[in-house]
Every structure is written in C-alpha cells, then in structure tokens.
C-alpha cells in the first residue's frame, strides 16, 4: 500500500504527484473511498462546485480514494491511497487505513511526503526516511530522519502501522523553499525512483523525467534573473558542500546497485536481454 496526502505533508505537490503518476502509469482503478463527512472540516477544506458532462452542477467533496493497481513483473500488486489530508479524528482515520490494509493482506505500507528545506535546486533531491524495522531501513538506503516536531497525517499513519505490527516505511523529499509555490516534478521523480526500488515496481517515467527537466530549466532561468536569489542559492550550495564534506560522501552499497539494476531490467520488460 502506497499513501500520499495533499496539504502540509506535500511540499511542491511532490508526494501526491508521485502517487498520481503511479496510478496513471499502472492504470489503477478506484474501488473504495473514505467518507469525508467524518474526517473533514469543510470550512478549511471546502467542497467545489463544477459542471458535469451534461451541464449539471455537481459538488465535489474533499476526501480520500483507494485504488487497485496491477503491477506487472512485480512480486505483488499495489493499493494506492491518495487524497486531502484529513482535518479531524486522525487516530480513527489511521485505524481505518490500517484495518483496510490488514483486510487486504497488505505486506508493506509506504507513505510518501515532501517538506520545505534549505536545499538548492542545483543538487540531487535530498531524501530521508524511516522504517518500522532495521531490514526495511537498510532497503531504503537513505539517511534516517532525525526530525522532531509537529507532524501530519503521514507521521500519524506511520505510527499507527508500527503499533499494529504492520511493516511500514516513510519516504520524504526535501523541496527548495524558495520555489515552494510551484509543483516540483523533480522531487516527485526522486520519490518514485526510490519507491520503485523499495517495492519492486517499475513504471515508465519518461514523461515525468521530461517535466523535471523543464522545471529545472525554468527555475534556473528565474534564479539567474534575480541576483539576490542567485547569491542565496550559491550560499545554499556552499553549505551543502560543507555538510557533505563533514559527513563524508556515501558510496552506494552493492545491494543498492543491484536493486537499481533489477529495476532497470524490469523497465525493459520481458523482451529485454
């Protein structure tokens, strides 16, 4: 089960975009939805009025939908959970997700998130995460998060899975705070790449790669047009280089390289040799 929620947990729409891209790539179908009446403050997350195909007005309520996604050449199929972060009764909401996962025989719950950080757009997207056990942490292959402070539904859901004894992992991407207003396909791509290695699912991400390249070019042009922002980005780059030098650049393990190679072979399909 892969989960992402729009809102506080979703800087640059990176997490929700990653799950939506995965749903489209795997042609996922919705089979359930969580009743929004119990979990949303409609003054904070207002419903929207739209016209349907026949020209009739209809109301779209904020909520969470659950999709099934067949995953060819993967060990198991996927359940995708996506929607707006609930406003109310987070413990009951998380219990509902855990109960659904157990009823469906889910073996691993992965939650995706994105946060604003002092990171330059010129460096690879920084990923952090945590998992319910050391084996999963090793499979993540990224620095464990040391964050302490306020959390969102992603953190609460991860904790509920651990309490229920359900293996779970949480992946987070850092998004440059000076371009937070725009959707960040680069961060979405980084989350999706790491997710592929964790759950053994591969999809064609060429469209997302193209969007990420366009995004990086647009951000670069915008930064170059403002000397103050350009100087700020240079300071962030220097700080990042200093932090990498202090901690030492980590060389990918043999296991991590093997996972990437397996993902590459899966993307090529059965005809690839």
Per-residue confidence (pLDDT) for residue 251, from 0 to 100? 46
Task: Report how far apart, in Å, the C-alpha atoms of 258 and of each of 139, 197, 253, 254 are.
Answer: 11, 10, 9, 6
Mean per-residue pLDDT for 228-241?
85
Superfamily of domain covering 2-268: PAC-like subunit (3.40.50.10900)
Q: Is the pLDDT of residue 68 over 90?
A: yes
Per-residue confidence (pLDDT) for residue 234, from 0 to 100? 86
Instruction: Using a pLDDT cut of 70, give the percent of the chain over it.
Output: 88
Mean per-residue pLDDT for 155-165?
95
Torsion region of 141: left, alpha or beta (phi above 0 gives left; psi -120 to 50 gives alpha): left
Torsion region of 55: left, alpha or beta (phi above 0 gives left; psi -120 to 50 gives alpha): left
Give the residue from 181, 180, 201 showing the smallest Cα distance to 191. Answer: 201
- Of residues 19 and 225, the one with the higher pLDDT is 19
Mean per-residue pLDDT for 7-30?
95
**Distance (Å, whole) CA 78 – CA 111:** 13
Q: Are 129 and 142 in contact (CB under 8 A)?
A: yes
Tens digits of residue pLDDT in 73-90: 777 899 999 999 999 999
Mean per-residue pLDDT for 226-244?
82
Tens digits of residue pLDDT in 103-144: 999 999 999 999 998 888 888 898 998 899 888 888 887 777
Q: Is the pLDDT of residue 265 over 80?
A: no
Across 29-61, b (16+ Cβ under 10 Å) vs e yields: eeeeebebeebbeeeebeeeeeeeeeeeeeeee
Confidence of residue 146 (pLDDT cuts 50, 70, 90): confident
**Distance (Å, whole) CA 224 – CA 194:** 30
Q: Is the pLDDT of residue 36 over 50?
A: yes
Instruction: Using a pLDDT cut of 90, give the percent of the chain over it.
Output: 58
Mean per-residue pLDDT for 147-174?
92
Q: Is residue 20 classed exposed, middle or buried when 0-12, 13-18 and 19+ CB atoms within 10 A define those classes?
A: middle
Per-residue confidence (pLDDT) for residue 12, from 0 to 100? 93
Q: Are 267 and 74 in contact (CB under 8 A)?
A: no
Domain boundaries, given as residue ranges, for the chain: 2-268
Q: What are phi and psi of 122, to 5 degrees?
A: -80, -5
Give the residue from 14, 3, 2 showing the smallest Cα distance to 173. Answer: 14
Measured in whole angstroms, the distance separating CA 89 from the mean position of its chain's CA atoms is: 23
Per-residue confidence (pLDDT) for residue 268, from 0 to 100? 52
Residues β-bridged to residue 174: 115
Q: Is the pLDDT of residue 100 over 80?
A: yes
């Amino acid at each position: 089960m892969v989960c992402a929620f729009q809102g506080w947990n979703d800087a640059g729409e990176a997490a929700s975009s990653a799950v939506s891209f995965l749903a489209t790539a795997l042609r996922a179908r919705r089979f359930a939805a969580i009743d929004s009446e119990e979990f949303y403050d409609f003054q904070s997350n207002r419903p929207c009025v739209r016209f349907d195909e026949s020209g009739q007005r209809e109301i779209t309520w904020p909520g969470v939908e659950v999709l099934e996604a067949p995953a060819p050449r993967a060990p198991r199929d996927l359940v995708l959970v996506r929607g707006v972060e609930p406003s109310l009764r987070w413990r009951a909401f998380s219990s509902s997700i855990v109960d659904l996962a157990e009823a469906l025989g889910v073996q691993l719950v992965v939650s995706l998130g994105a946060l604003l950080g002092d990171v330059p757009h010129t460096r690879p997207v920084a990923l952090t995460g945590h998992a319910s056990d050391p084996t999963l942490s090793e499979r993540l292959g990224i620095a464990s998060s040391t964050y302490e402070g306020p959390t969102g539904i992603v953190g609460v859901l991860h904790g509920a899975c651990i309490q229920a004894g359900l293996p779970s992992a949480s992946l987070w991407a850092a998004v440059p705070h000076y371009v937070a207003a725009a959707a960040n396909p680069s961060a979405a791509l980084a989350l999706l790449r790491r997710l592929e290695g964790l759950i053994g699912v591969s999809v064609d991400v060429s469209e997302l790669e193209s969007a990420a390249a366009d995004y990086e070019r647009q951000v670069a042009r915008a930064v170059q047009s403002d000397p103050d922002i350009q100087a700020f980005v240079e300071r962030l780059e220097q700080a990042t280089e200093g932090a990498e030098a202090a901690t030492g650049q980590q060389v990918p393990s043999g296991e991590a390289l093997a996972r990437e190679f397996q993902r590459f072979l899966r993307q090529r399909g059965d005809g690839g040799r």
